[in-house]
Structure formats: structure tokens, C-alpha cells
Amino acid sequence: MALSSQTLTVTPENVANHLRDQFASDPEWLLARRREAMAAYFALPVPTRERTAFNADRSGAITGFESAPVPADLPLPVPETRGGVLSMAHDRVLVTRQPAALAREGVILTDLRSACRMQPELVAPHLGSVIDAAHDKSQALNAGWWHNGGFLYVPAGVRVADPVIWLHYHLPDQPGFFPRSLIVLEEDSEVVLIDYYSEGENGSAPVSRTLAAMTVEVKLGSGARLHYGSIEQLSETTDAFVHRSALAGAHSAIFWNVGVFGAGVEISRQSTRLVEPGAENHSVSVFFGSGRQHHDIDVVSIHDAPHTVSTMVGKGVMKGRAQSVFTGITEIRRGARGSNARQREQTLMLSDDARADAIPSLLIDENDVFAAHSASAGPIDQAALFYLMARGLSEEAAVRMIVQGFLAPVIDNISIDDLRQQVWVAVERKVSE
Amino acid sequence: MATPVLVVDDLHVAVDGKEILKGVNLTVHGNEVHAVMGPNGTGKTSLAQTLMGHPRYVVTQGQITLDGQDLLAMRVDQRARAGLFLAMQYPSEISGVTTANFLRTAINARRQGNAVGLKVFRDELEEAMDLLQMDHQFANRYVNEGFSGGEKKRNELLQLLLLKPRIAILDEIDSGLDIDAVKVVAQGLKSMVGPEFGALVITHYQRILNYVRPQFVHIMVDGRIVKSGDYHLAEELDAKGYDWVRAAETISGGA
């Protein structure tokens, strides 16, 4: 199958054509939303961060890119699991596997575009309700041009025992990567979801630069519990804007475990709004940069109801000339009495050229709360390195041991077995690079 | 295996351009325990760190060999794998790494692919901990993290017992230990001494030497070994103090 690619510049005229050509199978309500998002796109700012230079050369990529059709026969790996699996490469759904037992209980696991066609009454009220498309160009681009993603719906009271796995493959010949997913948990339901973002090898020559805008929206009903894990391992030719956000109802709990290992520049925002009493947000971020990678990660916890709880941990390692900025933002709004928030950030730099900033931020507008934070960033301890080498470990093995020790208290606490192992594999790969 | 020999020949060392060691000569064979004593700031720790290869200490003259191999041409880890061990005065804390994991990794680093079996390792570890009167739970704690001064010193000895070096340097292994702990540590060290093991004990005080009973005692002043003798030199020093050596040094230096 011959693949042809074409350059597409984002102009109002091209947008209309692209929406018509690429998304003809979408229902009209969805097309209307896509058009609205792209109409707003032109006036919106390029997303920027204070400490992350997203230069003109790179931001140029956001105004134009090529697209090529994705072939149907892609032999990409699918994990062994008893739980549900959804595997996608761009708009192509490779595998959808929903255990029969889950279907009987009313659990829906499918790709988001199919869900928009088949279950509009479940999707339409939630899609776009957690993340504002008019925030910046990357969000508008995703809201307008998302090619596909996962949809998971768990009805009230249903607990899913085995982890559900989503794989989003970026193909190396694709200059745009816009996955979008939606997770809706009804009252007192519970599920474990692992959301992988990886490169899919298909033998094609890679494009020089890819722009990715990746979005995940989560809605938690009262008492619902979501264990969300993710590993991002995109290639360094990809610049990624990642936005994950959750709305958490009364006494619900979300457990985020997010590993960031890939991308050239990744600008991510993970935001959780605790909008009803007793809601909880527990977030763990592990990031590891090498070469000239740049990770700029914001994790936000918004306490907007009494007795809400958040814990936030960020741990990162930077080597080579890599740079990171981890900003933890805890916002406790007026009326969120009795709320409890803690955050801890720690980064380790393995070379003199690496840089890792950790910035905790507490915005508190209520008196009757508990909030604490700690942050540290430092180079590898030379005395410890000498100590380990004096016991016979090579410098490489000594650095590996120090890094493992640095990350172990966080990674070993990841409750999802598969995810914990995969995070260690990713760490090992980065250490050995 | 042949008995080990460490030879330090006319060693001159500088730190930040300042000469700290000014021609040290010393030979340690297997089956021997040597003590190096001396006042603070006289170069004892510098000698220990230089032997192990700490990058801060720059050798400007002289040589060091272990079993005839040129130690100065070797990296820190190569020296360790060649059989040199340094029990450090201030051991580092390695957060997140259990003592057992650390020890097993260090043992395997020397065995080059021929990894020690878990059962064998556990047995040896527990035997060594018993000898040093350490709680077995110790193995599950992160290396030196939250350890008391005495626990850190015992942990150094534990590593020595398990890694089985050919020549060990112990830098103020007795500092911060109560008398019972000094005895335990000394017993641990003595259990190692034999044809395949020699030790260099660096200390400020004679106390540990009562238990270790070195055959050779060297007194170091201002970057040089100024006096060597048998065990009785340590007793003499204890009775007369370092001023006595300094005075002797001035006289011999002027002669």
C-alpha cells in the first residue's frame, strides 16, 4: 500500500476541508463541536510556560503539518491481560477486547468516536465538559482534530477487577498525534486503567518532527474510585502537549500514577477539581529526561468543597542536557473547610548540564485547612558515588543504584502490578541510555 | 592464592594544590595488622582516601601497588575488585536501597557474572550479622539511612566480612563506639586476619588496638610516618602523648 502524505496548513479554509474529509463519519453534534473548537483556534495563544522555551521553530509546527493515511494491517504488540484492551494507532482501531463479563454488567469499553456514534447520550454531556477547548491552541487543536481515543464507562456500583489497558500508538511517519479519551465512572464504581502512549514501529521513515496534543477527561460520580496509570514513551522528535483533567464528586477518589519518559518537549497539565465534599486526589508523577529532553509538568489540585484531600508526589531524574520543571499547585478555595493537602517534589540531576526545577505552590483562601509541601532538587551525591564504587560497583552500576534508590519509594508504592513493572522497565531503559 | 601485599612507596599527595602527604612508605602483607596513629590533621584519612582512589586526592609522586599491580592506574571500583577495601570514617547514606540489596550487588560486582545464590548469600549475611551482634532486620533497612554512628561502623565491618577483601583499610572504625562495640568490631576484624588478609587500622586512640593487637604501629605526623614499631609503641604513645613524638621528630629532623 503506497502512502502519500500532504502538507496541511491550518487556515480556516483548510480546516473546513479537513473536518469534512477526515471526520465525515462523526455525528453532526460532534462535527459542530469540532468546527467550534477550530474556529476559536486562530485567536488562542500558543501554550507557553515560564521556564520552557517553546521556540518559533517548534511553535511553527502547530500551524501546519502533514497527514498520511494509517494502514489497516499493523502488527503492533497487545499485552496479555484478563481485562479489557483497546489498542489504537491514530484514527485506526487495532484491537478492542471487552471481556464478556464486563459487557454484561454494562461496562462500555470502546474507542471514543464509535462511542460518539453509538452512545451519544452517554458521551455528549461529558465530552469537553472537564477541559475547556478554548484554553490555548493545543487544546483547541485536540478538541477540533482529535483522531480517536478511548471511552470507558462504568455503571453505578460496578467494580472492575482486572486492569483495563489502552494503547495509543504514534506512527513514525505521522506528524500529528491527537488522541483524546474520556472516562466516566458512575456512583460507587471502581476501575483500574493503564493508558500507554508509545511509538508504533511500522517500518516507515520517521518524519522530522511531530506535534502531539493529548487529552484525557475524567468524571467521577459519588464514591467512585479510579486508579489511572500512564506511561508516555514518545520519540524525542515529538513535542507533546498533554492535558489530563478530572472532576471528582462526593467521597470519590482518583489515584494518578503518571510516568513521563519520552517526547522532545513535553508540556503537561494534570488538573483535578474536588468539587464535592470528601473527594480525594492522590497523584504520583515520575519523570526521567535524557539527551536534550525537556519536561515541564504542572500538577494541579483544586479543593472546591469541604473535607477534600489531596496528596501529590513528583519525582524526577534528569541526565545529559535534559531539563525539567515540576510545578505542584494546590489551590484551596473559600469554603473548602477541613481540607487536607500535601505535596512533595524531589528531583535528581545526574550531570552538570542537566537541570531540574521543583516548584511547589500553595494558593489557600480558607483558614480551617491543613496544607504542607516540600521540594528539593540536587545533583547526584558524589560521596555516595565514591562509596558505592569503593565497594566494587562500576560508575554506571553505582549511578543506577542511586537512581533506583531515589525512585524506589515512589515506584514500589504503585499499586498496579503491571504498571509498576513497566515503569521500572522504562527507568532502566533511561538509565542505560 | 598468594598472600596479598600492599606497597606504598614514597607517596606524595596534594589536595587543592597543597601537599598533604610528603613521602609515605608502608608495606602491608597478609596475616599482618598495621596501625597508623597520629594527631588530627596529620594525613591519616588522606592516606586512606588516596589508597582507595578518591578523586580529590592528587598523587604527585610515588607509587602504590597491590600484589604488584599499579593501583594508581586503576579506577576506584577496579581497586575494590582487585581486593582493596576501605571502611570509611563517614559512610554515605544510600536512600531507597536496602542493605541486603546493596551487599549482594557489591558481592556480585566482584564475581563477574557468577552471581552468588540467594540462600548462600542469606546464610553468610546472617552469620556475619550474628558475629557483629546486629539485628537481622538491619539487612532490610536502607543503607546507613537513619543509622546511629555505631550502626554505621558495624555496617562497614559487615561489608568487610562479606566482601572478603585482601587488604582492608579501616579509617577510625572505633570513633563514636562504646567499649562493647569496640570489642565486637575488633573481634570481627580479627576473624578475618589470615594468610589471605591484611589490615591497616587508622586510629586516634589506642583503645581499639588493645583488642586488635597489631604487629606494627606507625606514627604519622605532618604527612609522614615518623616512627614505626611493634605494639608497645602504641602503649608508649598512649602514656606519653603526641607531643613526645613531635619532640622526637624535631630532634631527628634537625639531625
Tally of structural domains, chain A:
1
Residues 97-116 of B with CB under 8 A from A: 97, 102, 105-106, 109-110
Taking residues A249-268, report their average pLDDT. 96
The C-alpha atoms of residue A183 and residue A384 are separated, in whole angstroms, by 44
**Sequence-ordered list of residues with C-beta below 8 angstroms from that of B114, at least 6 positions apart, any chain:** none
The CA-based dihedral angle spanning residues A218, A220, A226, A231, taken in that order and rounded to the nearest 10 degrees: 10
For residue A211, what are the β-bridge partners?
A176, A239
On whether any CB of chain A is under 8 Å from the CB of B52, the answer is yes
pLDDT, residue A50, reads 79
Assess contact for B78 and B110: CB atoms under 8 A.
no
H/E segment holding residue B237: helix B231-240
**Selection from B78, B79, B101, B96 nearest residue B162 by Cα:** B101
Per-residue three-class SS string for A135-204: CCHHHHHHHHHCCECEEEEECCCCECCCCEEEEEEECCCCCEECEEEEEEECCCCEEEEEEEEEECCCCC
Q: Is the pLDDT of residue A31 over 80?
A: yes
Is residue A157 assigned to a domain?
Answer: yes
Distance of CA A416 to the CA centre of its chain: 17
Does A391 contact B102 at a Cβ distance shorter than 8 Å?
A: yes
Assess contact for A152 and A163: CB atoms under 8 A.
no
Does A401 contact B94 at a Cβ distance shorter than 8 Å?
A: yes
Q: Which residue has the higher pLDDT, A54 or A182?
A: A182
pLDDT, residue A203, reads 75
Q: Which domain holds residue A198?
A: 6-276
The C-alpha atoms of residue B22 and residue B12 are separated, in whole angstroms, by 5
pLDDT, residue B143, reads 96
Give the chain A residue nearest B52 (alpha carbons).
A390
**What would you report as the CA-atom Rg of chain B, rounded to the nearest whole angstrom?**
18
Question: Which residues in A lie closer than 8 A to residue B85 (C-beta atoms)?
Answer: 390
Question: Which residues in A lie closer than 8 A to residue B88 (C-beta atoms)?
Answer: 387, 390
Instruction: Delineate the domains of chain B, giving CATH numbers in brackets.
Output: 5-92+167-254 (3.40.50.300)
pLDDT, residue B254, reads 38
Going by pLDDT thresholds of 50, 70 and 90, the confidence category of residue A415 is: confident
Is residue A317 assigned to a domain?
Answer: no
Does A390 contact B91 at a Cβ distance shorter than 8 Å?
A: no
Ranges under pLDDT 50 in chain B: 253-255
Does B77 contact A395 at a Cβ distance shorter than 8 Å?
A: yes
Q: How far is CA B64 from CA A46, A376, B59, B68, B70, in A?
A: 62, 41, 10, 9, 6
pLDDT tens, position by position, B173-227: 998 888 999 999 999 999 999 999 999 999 988 889 999 999 999 999 999 999 9
The C-alpha atoms of residue A148 and residue B5 are separated, in whole angstroms, by 70
Does A395 contact B95 at a Cβ distance shorter than 8 Å?
A: no
On whether any CB of chain A is under 8 Å from the CB of B95, the answer is yes
Write out the E strands in A263-390.
265-274, 280-289, 294-303, 309-318, 323-332, 340-349, 355-364, 370-379
Closest residue to A393, CB basis, from B53, B105, B142: B105
pLDDT, residue A68, reads 57
From the CA of A379, how many Å to the nearest CA of chain B? Answer: 14
The least confident of A24-28, A95-99, A133-137 is A133-137
pLDDT tens, position by position, A259-291: 999 999 999 999 999 999 999 999 999 999 999
Going by pLDDT thresholds of 50, 70 and 90, the confidence category of residue A2 is: very low
Give the chain B residue nearest A389 (alpha carbons).
B77
From the CA of B134, how many Å to the nearest CA of chain A? Answer: 21
pLDDT, residue B70, reads 97
Is residue A305 assigned to a domain?
Answer: no
- DSSP 8-state symbol, B42: S
The C-alpha atoms of residue B99 and residue A100 are separated, in whole angstroms, by 47
Is residue A307 assigned to a domain?
Answer: no
On whether any CB of chain A is under 8 Å from the CB of B164, the answer is no
Assess contact for B163 and B107: CB atoms under 8 A.
yes
Is residue A188 assigned to a domain?
Answer: yes
Task: For residue B40, count CB atoms less than 10 angstroms from its CB and return exposed for 0-12, middle for 13-18, buried for 19 or more.
Answer: exposed
Q: Is the pLDDT of residue A149 over 70?
A: yes
Taking residues A131-138, report their average pLDDT. 86
Q: Is the pLDDT of residue A225 over 80?
A: yes
Write out the E strands in chain B.
5-15, 18-29, 33-37, 58-66, 69-70, 84-87, 94-98, 142-143, 167-171, 198-203, 216-221, 224-229
On whether any CB of chain B is under 8 Å from the CB of A409, the answer is yes
On whether any CB of chain B is under 8 Å from the CB of A403, the answer is no
Assess contact for A193 and A162: CB atoms under 8 A.
no
Closest residue to A405, CB basis, from B81, B95, B109: B95
pLDDT tens, position by position, A300-352: 999 999 999 999 999 999 999 999 999 999 999 999 999 999 999 999 999 99
DSSP track, B97-121: EEHHHHHHHHHHHHHTT-PPPHHHH
From the CA of B84, how many Å to the nearest CA of chain A? Answer: 8
Is residue A186 assigned to a domain?
Answer: yes
Dmax over CA atoms of chain B, in Å, equals 62
pLDDT, residue A67, reads 53
Residue appearing with cell numbers 534508590 = A405
Question: Which residues in B lie closer than 8 A to residue A313 (C-beta atoms)?
Answer: none
Does A395 contact B80 at a Cβ distance shorter than 8 Å?
A: no
Is residue A65 assigned to a domain?
Answer: yes
Give the chain B residue nearest A403 (alpha carbons).
B96
Does A390 contact B52 at a Cβ distance shorter than 8 Å?
A: yes
From the CA of B12, how many Å to the nearest CA of chain A? Answer: 21
On whether any CB of chain A is under 8 Å from the CB of B76, the answer is yes
Q: Is the pLDDT of residue A84 over 80?
A: yes
- Provide ipTM, 2 decimals: 0.95
Phi/psi of residue A281, each to 5°? -130, 120
pLDDT, residue A59, reads 43
**Sequence-ordered list of residues with C-beta below 8 angstroms from that of A365, at least 6 positions apart, any chain:** A332, A333, A334
Going by pLDDT thresholds of 50, 70 and 90, the confidence category of residue A75 is: low
Does A386 contact B92 at a Cβ distance shorter than 8 Å?
A: yes
Residue appearing with cell numbers 483500574 = A192
The C-alpha atoms of residue B131 and residue A138 are separated, in whole angstroms, by 64
On whether any CB of chain B is under 8 Å from the CB of A397, the answer is yes
Mean pLDDT of chain A: 90
pLDDT, residue A57, reads 47
On whether any CB of chain A is under 8 Å from the CB of B96, the answer is yes
From the CA of A356, how many Å to the nearest CA of chain B? Answer: 19
Closest residue to A390, CB basis, from B76, B102, B142: B76
On whether any CB of chain B is under 8 Å from the CB of A388, the answer is yes
Is residue A385 assigned to a domain?
Answer: no
Going by pLDDT thresholds of 50, 70 and 90, the confidence category of residue A6 is: very low
